[in-house]
Structure 1
Amino acid sequence: MPSINCCVGLIRVPKIIVAKSDLDDLIYAAGASCSPEKNCLPGTRQSIIDEIVNWAHQPQDNPSCQLLWLYGVAGSGKSAIAHTVAHRFDACQRLGSSFCFDANQATRGPEHLFSTISRDLADFDNVWRISLSNAVKGKKSIRGTHSVVLQFENFLVRPAENLDIVGPVVIVIDALDECGDANSRKFILEILETRLSELPGNFRIIVTSRPEPDIRKRLWSHPHILCKDMADIGMSRSIKDVEIFIQRELGTAETSLSEHFPDWCAILAKKSDGLFQWAFTACSFIKQQGRLPHEYFDVIVKGSEGGDSQLDNLYSQILHHSLLYQDATVLERFQTILGIVLTVKKPLLMSTLGALCLEHNMDIVKSILMPLGAVLHGVTSESVPIYTLHTSFRDFLMNENRSGIFHVEAKKANKNVTSGCLASMLNKLQFNICQLQTSCELNQDVVDMEKRIKDHIPDDLSYACTFWAEHLEDSDYAGQAEVNKFLNTKLLSWLEVLSVMGLTKSAMGSLQKLYRWTNVRCTWIKT
């Protein structure tokens, strides 16, 4: 973006407006911040929340005050604590930024973290905004970089040189384990381990994650990192907090449950082993329509005790109850349809999922998804995207040793999505798809472009044009004829769709993925 002169004619443009313009093209993950709706229930997790707040207010010369790593198993309540702490510091104007990684969201990758944090800090402090603007002014390649290291140096270290805020500036990073695999997050971990001293001493960074081996190796046993294990909260306190949660969630079902199980709340809390996600999933299952609450309760309490964990056991019980699991046809449908849900790069509506599923019609898609409201979000609505309520359910299905007959194989799932994407593009792409009146007008100058896109580019086609190559590369897809047909007949129309959607830059990345796939899978393009 060209630099903006601070004086236009006789009208002086405020520096803050110029700074805003300089930051417009920095990568930003909208919707990644913590939300008060996900806070802990009042009266629960109080001791660990108070400990974190007190830690953040320690003098800045305390060597263990740069980073706090809160870790624990899936479903132990780490994220709820992160959201609560972020809300607490936001209320006293001490929250610089919060960022929640989410395996369901492709737009929350490692390359979004430091850029988003810095733009949040620009809203938090005007001096930071001006310093950040000066750091990236005239450097288009830096403003658009996906390099985690360059982002840290240019978006955080350089703007911090002029910061003069007194008191703690808190940054919350939730679910670091969900930002990708170990290779994806290695540079973030390296920075957290070795370079935080380059930031102001009053910065307080709170990170939550599972204790994955690579994260533990990097963050464990450093003088500037305080490590807190969720297991240290104590089982009795955790179970009591879970009991409060269950009582609130199932209050309307209390009469039915009490008639058959007088100690129902204590029974569920004890069975949870202190895992909030277990309690949440169990309550969602009990509240489903179709049976009385005490009948669903009975399924949970008297179910089999196998499995690697309480969560795995609960997921198995729910799936056994919700599906005709002994029917090979139903299992095949489940694996195909859930495979699409788990591998798409962003949550999609049921109608869009159905359009990408070539093997089954919409009625079958609905018949599989709608009974799974205890583990999937959005299955009872036509207007809400569908995704797993917790990443532990995704992990359960993707691990054959844990999920058994319900296992979803990632490469096969990506192959199915690839087929759906190519079919959508081959059938629906056409020249001048948005019916523009002239090719002489820039896209941004077409006043009703947004409406044209909505009217003429269906959601499945939009998704296919954006992500087909990512699924292709991640799959064992071998449909050379379909790819060849797409390249020969629809390539220009595909580029046109990317152009009107403002995604032209992504075309090169898609073609690079296609090239890598051809090197692995076939030789027909080379010849």
Structure 2
Amino acid sequence: MHDSSTRFDPPKCHPNTRVAVLEYILGWIFGRNDPEALILWLYGQAGTGKSAILQTIAERCAERQSILASFFFGRNDPSRNTFKPLIPTIACQIATAIPEIRPHLEGIIERDPFIFEKSIATQLQFLIIQPLKDLSTSGYFSNPEINPRLIIIDGLDECNDTKMQSMILRVIADALRTQKLPLIFLIASRPEQNIQLTFNSNSLAGLWKSLVLDYTYKPNDDIRTFLTDSFQEIKSTHPHRKYIPNDWPDEWNIDHLIKKSSGQFIYASVVIKYI
């Protein structure tokens, strides 16, 4: 979950950065951009800010009550680096957001206490698709501004089973296509080969759009904003700030750090962390 205590102080976008990316994603969520796409795949190399972007989107949508559920995989967290908690976590959040489905969900678990040990496809069918079926038929999800239908999955590549990474995508695609699951999925990952191949397979054809974090969105401008603001904060709050020159650091040093970052926010963030 985006506000889970296991992800205390998660990364999020620095103010006035990633503006175009955030605007596009929010436009897609509310049906203004590529409304035919039920899956938006945000991808980029390590350190390009995928998790920060999805965290920011999750927080903004939560403020507007426009998100149903989220799951953030974590490579080094045993509770988040496996597929097993994915569907139960999402189902629990949906039941919290939509109290009407709780009795249905409770009945399923009561009848089959081992549901959480079954395949991801079976879990999705019984814990999410079936409880939402009646609501979907009634048109509950027709207006995303009123009734949320967004599911966020971050760090798919950090699931420790590459076969399950692909399986998760296929199961979601099948639910969207054949079961008419009334949801949309924002998924972020590195562009690993198995994930790319799955997105390009027939099982996902026509269901998704992609958004790549490359130089199209001018990451160097955003990194400059982050560095400039961060250095200004250091000069204002550091215990020895009276010894820091007003012109520190000079433009050459900032330009050098931007060049060394190579479009990766993680580099600039680590530099600031250790100053």
- Give your verdict on TM over 0.5: yes
Distance 2:10 2:229 in 1: 15
Letter in 1 for 2:85: H
Superposition pairs of residues 45-444 of structure 1, within 5 angstroms: 45-58=18-31, 62-64=35-37, 66-108=38-80, 109-142=82-115, 144-145=116-117, 147-163=119-135, 164-168=140-144, 169-197=149-177, 198-201=179-182, 203-220=183-200, 222-231=205-214, 233-234=216-217, 237-251=218-232, 252=234, 255=244, 258=247, 261-285=250-274, 287=275
Q: Over the residues paired in the alignment, what is the CA RMSD in angstroms?
A: 2.8
CA-CA distance at 1:166 after TM superposition: 4.0
SS at match of 1:63: coil
CA contact (8 A) 1:193 1:218 kept: no
Residue 63 of structure 1: CA displacement? Answer: 2.9
1:136 to partner: Cα distance:
2.8
Deviation of 1:179 after TM superposition, in Å, equals 1.1
**Residue type at the aligned position of 2:90:** I
Higher helix share: 1
How far the C-alpha of 1:192 sits from its partner, in A, is 3.1
Question: How has the CA–CA distance of structure 1 residues 150 and 62 changed in structure 2, closer, same or farther, with 3 Å as cutoff?
Answer: same
Q: Which residue of 2 aligns with 1:422?
A: none
TM-score by length of structure 1 reads 0.45
Distance 1:78 1:181 in 2: 20
Deviations 1:234-288 (A, max 9, x none): 3xx2101011112233332593694574532232123212110111122223x1x
Shift of 1:187: 1.9
Report Cα offsets for 1:319-366 as digits up to 9, x if no partner.
xxxxxxxxxxxxxxxxxxxxxxxxxxxxxxxxxxxxxxxxxxxxxxxx
Is residue 150–residue 186 contact of structure 2 (8 Å, CA) maintained in 1? yes
Return the alpha-carbon distance in structure 2 between the equivalents of residues 241 and 59 of structure 1.
25
Which runs of 5 or more residues in structure 2 are unaligned? 236-240
Change (3 A) 1:210 1:281: same
- Structure 2 SS opposite 1:161: helix
> What is the alpha-carbon distance in structure 1 between the residues aligned to residue 34 and residue 108 of structure 2?
27
Deviates more, 1:252-261 or 1:144-153: 252-261
Return the TM-score normalized by structure 2.
0.82
Contact 2:61 2:67 in 1 (8 A): yes
> Which structure would you say has the larger Rg?
1
Instruction: Give per-residue Cα distances to partners, 1:50-88, cap 9 Å, x unaligned.
Output: 111111122899432x11000000000111110111111
Residues matched between the structures, number: 254
Unmatched tracts of structure 1, length 5 or more:
1-27, 288-527
Q: Equivalents in 1 of 2:86, 2:11: separation in Å?
A: 20
Q: Aligned equivalents of 2:50 and 2:120: distance in 1?
A: 25
What SS does structure 2 have at the residue aligned with 1:250?
A: helix
Cα distance in 2 for residues equivalent to 1:195 and 1:76 = 30
Residue-by-residue CA offset, 1:394-453 (whole Å, 9 max, x unaligned): xxxxxxxxxxxxxxxxxxxxxxxxxxxxxxxxxxxxxxxxxxxxxxxxxxxxxxxxxxxx
1:444-455 matched pairs, under 5 angstroms: none
Taking a change above 3 Å as real, the CA distance of residues 106 and 148 of structure 1, as seen in their structure-2 partners, is: same
Give the direction of change, closer, same or farther, for the CA distance of 1:62–1:261 in structure 2 (3 Å limit): closer
CA distance in 1 between counterparts of 2:98 and 2:265 reads 36
Looking at structure 2, the residues matched to 37 and 186 of structure 1 have their Cα atoms a distance apart, in angstroms, of 26
Q: Distance in 1 between matches of 2:34 and 2:269?
A: 41
Inter-partner Cα distance in structure 2 for 1:257 and 1:179 = 46
CA deviations 1:123-179 (Å, max 9, x no partner) are 00111222222333321111x325212211111111111223442311111111111
Q: 1:82 and 1:248 mapped to 2: Cα distance?
A: 22
Larger RCO, structures 1/2 (Cα 8 Å, 6+ apart): 2
- Amino acid of the structure 1 residue aligned with 2:187: V
Any conservation in 1 of the 2:27–2:33 contact (CA below 8 Å)?
no
CA distance in 2: counterparts of 1:260 and 1:59, whole angstroms = 42
Q: What SS does the aligned partner of 1:95 have?
A: coil
Amino acid paired to 1:31? S
